[in-house]
A and B are shown apart, each in its own frame.
Chain A
């Protein structure tokens, strides 16, 4: 490691223009992240071609800022309105919004800000020091490992439904079913498309999310009487800065959760494709295992785990890009474009050939995450008061308008709005019957990964299923899955036999 270059890049990053463009990026990222339907990918797609005209020390801080902050921005509507701004804040909504209902909006936003910042900075440091090592480990993941990891991820849904396993399983199965719509990854055969090309690639994920989480809340607001005590809005009290600053005992209490979530984020999050959601769900599952029924009722750890995990994934998704030249997701694919535009090629040679820019990017990740802290707290102070200032009928209309705009913008078509409306009704029904939505989302995202990895493994092994067990890493993950699934049964058995004594 070239410490001189690193120091130089670090000092460069805190000079005027890089710092200003980083601030602009973080603010922009928070805004787009908090609007359902807008996300980091679409924002970067618009920004990247423009960066050609910028010097690299303005271009990269801007892009890094947007990328880091968009993920955190999703937590704001998730916590305040129970509408996740991005897929990565689906679980944040559970405990976050419960806490708001208890009148602790400031505390909830504070925990999200602390968790995001802590894990984000930690992972940026991991990116700085261990990127090549982690990249080599990511390469070891072949089809069998992807299959087993995704199955392991899916097994975490068992506990999502506040203890109601049947409802979680139902939600998960429905998600798997919806995921079957579209072309088979193996044979190219169109499934459940009814001859319509709109369904050929499956239902688009973003409009589904907008419907399930955004429009379902709108419907809920429509049927509820305006004076009902059960409101989705934050309470009447004004949020003060002191509410958001966490007392030292709470920080100490959350520290283990942050560390374990950030570790999961760094290990699982660097895997392209399934990594992000699996890391988030697995870290939440750890919390649920520890606190049982207290989850989903405003537990601080329930906000800390997913928020720490998702922000650590943001930095770690850059690992394969910077050290191997393989973009881990569609957003880092845009980073690849931005690097190329500046005449740089990511890969093993990047840190040697152009250490100034390479270290600048990593330094920006550290600083962007630090910057999220004051900017986040500032927004946390302003946004809830703004939301409160709007009369509820108007707020309902604004949310509906944003949902429709987002659903349309993603594919520039009315089809997105139809999908969002349909899933809005489904989400409304789920909420009424108290069926959890998060297993549905996880199944929807993981089903294609599982299916593809299964067929890939079959093709490589000549059709022998034992292939999943002869690969050590894959076998270990399947064993864990079995443990996860059998754990509740085992616990119940032990408890029942202990009682009579």
Chain B
């Protein structure tokens, strides 16, 4: 490779990492936005959309997206939990933070973070391949109670695996789990008819279902979604309340100075509720569902409680 290009690259790296001196008013410099996953996923993608809109709400300061994958998001989460409490390090916070703090020996828990905003909720759906003989939820439940349903998941102990475990326990079902390494592989198995059903996020299922390559049986939410108005909720069919889903939000380390926290919350609200951001999210197939820091905190606590009931299942039934 050429020296010229090497130099250009190194210059870019130095430019990106040079910070501006601290001052009293917030924000005075660019913020680090830590995505605890590799580039390319939904969290990374929506994070980069946020970063792209950030300068408007942060007086021209940028969000620098940094991917810190590893340890099932533990690497990035640990980094933010021990980052300086100055409001210049943000975490893309997802459901994994709850599993990780409950199941792995990590140095942080929910108390180590300041939840600032939630921007996207994605309810869980049960799907089958389009050619499957399973054509509604009742049929699915009947077949599963006979232990005859193979379930594709995007990975062991993902929130989708846990949703299936939880449903199986509640309704005395017996699934045969087929764990994949990605949502794409899961979709391929459903469309190829290699498995009979799968658990995924509504956002991932809407597109293929409109193409007629998969069928959504039910959505695990309190009401039907605008994205798929024909799909019944789990409760409509069975009468049992069953809600599950993944969330995407933004947090900072715990112990922020209160004026910085207020400043951050207000500016993030401005960013996340702007019509421009909503338009770009919608274009990419995501719905913006904004909640402020307090509401996000409450949501985290309820989800943690639900998780805690289900997690023992992971060890015995995986």
Contact = CB atoms under 8 A, between A and B. Distances in A.
A-B interaction: yes
Interface of A: 31, 34-35, 38, 41-42, 45-46, 48-50, 52, 76-77, 85, 138-143, 183-188, 195, 197-201, 204, 272-273, 320, 324-328, 330-331, 333-334, 337, 340-343, 345, 347-349, 382-383, 386-387, 389-390, 398, 401-402, 405, 409, 411-413, 415, 448, 452, 455-456, 459-460, 462
B181 A460 contact: no
A386 B4 CA distance: 9
Q: Which 5 A-B pairs have the closest CB atoms?
A: A45-B39, A197-B71, A142-B194, A139-B192, A49-B48
B211 A347 contact: yes
Residue of B1, B5, B192, B194 contacting most chain A CB atoms (<10 Å):
B1
A345 B203 CA distance: 13
B283 A340 contact: yes
State the main secondary structure of chain B at its contact with A: mixed
B306 interface: no
Nearest to B196: A460
B2 A386 contact: yes
Contact of A413 (B10, B44, B75, B156): B75
A101 B182 CA distance: 42
Nearest to A386: B2
A272 B104 contact: no
Nearest to B192: A139
Contacts of A409: 13
A186 B104 contact: no
Interface string B256-282: 000000000000000000000000100
B178 A143 contact: yes
Contacts of A398: 3, 6
Interface string B67-105: 111111011001100000000000000000000000011
Residue of B105, B188, B213 contacting most chain A CB atoms (<10 Å):
B188
A349 B209 CA distance: 12
Contact of B66 (A77, A187, A273, A412): A412
A448 B181 contact: yes
B177 interface: yes
Contacts of B44: 45
Given A198-B75, A200-B70, A398-B6, 13 more contacts: A49-B49, A186-B318, A188-B318, A201-B70, A327-B184, A331-B40, A345-B207, A347-B210, A386-B4, A402-B1, A405-B13, A412-B68, A413-B79
Given A383-B1, A460-B178, A50 B52 contact: yes
A348 B1 contact: no
Contacts of B280: 52, 341
A13 B11 CA distance: 33
Contacts of B70: 197-198, 200-201, 204, 411, 413, 415
A35 B40 contact: no
Interface in B130-174: 150, 155-157
A331 B72 CA distance: 20
B284 interface: yes
B194 A35 contact: no
B176 A201 contact: no
Given A187-B156, A197-B74, A326-B191, A45 B1 contact: no
Contacts of A459: 150, 176-178
State the main secondary structure of chain A at its contact with B: helix
Nearest to A34: B1
A460 B192 CA distance: 14
Interface string B173-200: 0001111111011011101111100000
Contacts of B208: 325, 347
Contacts of B150: 459-460
A340 B104 CA distance: 35
B213 A340 contact: no
B316 to A, nearest CB: 11
Interface of B: 1-6, 9-10, 13, 38-41, 44-45, 48-49, 51-52, 66-72, 74-75, 78-79, 104-106, 150, 155-157, 176-182, 184-185, 187-189, 191-195, 207-208, 210-213, 280, 283-285, 314, 318
A337 B280 CA distance: 11
Nearest to A83: B1
Residue of B2, B4, B41, B52 contacting most chain A CB atoms (<10 Å):
B2
Contact of A340 (B40, B51, B72, B285): B285
Residue of B106, B178, B285, B318 contacting most chain A CB atoms (<10 Å):
B178
Given A138-B188, A324-B191, A49 B52 contact: yes
13 contacts: A31-B1, A35-B5, A45-B39, A49-B52, A141-B192, A183-B156, A198-B71, A333-B184, A342-B283, A405-B9, A405-B10, A412-B68, A413-B70
A337 B192 CA distance: 23
Contact of A348 (B2, B49, B213): B213
A325 B213 contact: yes
Contacts of B3: 386, 389-390, 398
A325 B285 CA distance: 13
Nearest to A462: B176
Contacts of A187: 156, 318
Contacts of B68: 411-413
Contacts of A401: 6, 10
Contacts of B177: 459
Contacts of B180: 452, 456
Residue of B180, B184, B185, B207 contacting most chain A CB atoms (<10 Å):
B184
B284 A412 contact: no
B10 A186 contact: no
A374 B68 CA distance: 38
Contact of B69 (A76, A348, A411): A411
Nearest to A195: B105
B214 to A, nearest CB: 10
Contacts of B5: 31, 34-35
Contacts of A46: 48
A49 B51 CA distance: 9
B187 A326 contact: yes
Nearest to A135: B191
Given A185-B179, A334-B40, A348 B211 contact: yes
Contact of B314 (A188, A340, A456): A188
B146 to A, nearest CB: 14
B304 to A, nearest CB: 19
Contact of A412 (B10, B67, B176): B67
A204 B67 CA distance: 13
A85 B1 contact: yes
Contacts of B181: 185, 273, 448, 452
Contact of A272 (B45, B79, B185, B211): B185
B189 A142 contact: yes
Contacts of A328: 184
A415 B213 CA distance: 42
A39 to B, nearest CB: 10
Contacts of B187: 325-326
Contact of B192 (A35, A142, A334, A405): A142
Given A325-B211, A452-B181, A459-B178, A341 B284 contact: yes
B113 to A, nearest CB: 17
A420 to B, nearest CB: 15
Contacts of B212: 348
